[in-house]
Amino acid sequence: MNSVINYVGLENRIVTATYRNLMIGAKVVLVDKASDQQLPDPVTTIASPVPAGSLRIRLPATVKPGDYYLKALNGHGASVALSVEFYVS
């Protein structure tokens, strides 16, 4: 079962994304493309029993301008899906 996270858009520092095949307890994190480092905030945990849905992730002021992508981690912390890159201004 392949997990998928799709970046939909960014407006007013809110990232919108959809996902498929992510189970309860999976996490979606923001990764800085330049350093390939996961940011400590925001971290979104999937709480729905349905393995498909959408997310709205508010970016804190600490997120600097640059290129980022979303990474989905399973309940064990292993990477299972990456989104396309997007720019935060």
Write out the residue range of the structural domain in which residue 22 sits. Answer: 4-88
The number of folded domains in the chain is 1
* Cβ neighbours around 50 below 10 Å, total: 9
User: What's the half-sphere exposure (Cβ side, CA atoms, 13 Å) at 65?
Assistant: 1
Say which residues have a Cβ less than 8 Å from residue 65's Cβ, sequence separation at least 6: 87, 88, 89
pLDDT, residue 77, reads 94
Question: What's 24's domain CATH number?
Answer: 2.60.40.2840
SS3 category, 11: strand
SS3 category, 16: strand
pLDDT, residue 1, reads 75
Condensed to tens digits (0 to 9), the pLDDT of residues 36-85 reads 999 999 999 999 989 999 999 999 999 999 999 999 999 899 999 999 99
* pTM exceeds 0.85, yes or no: yes
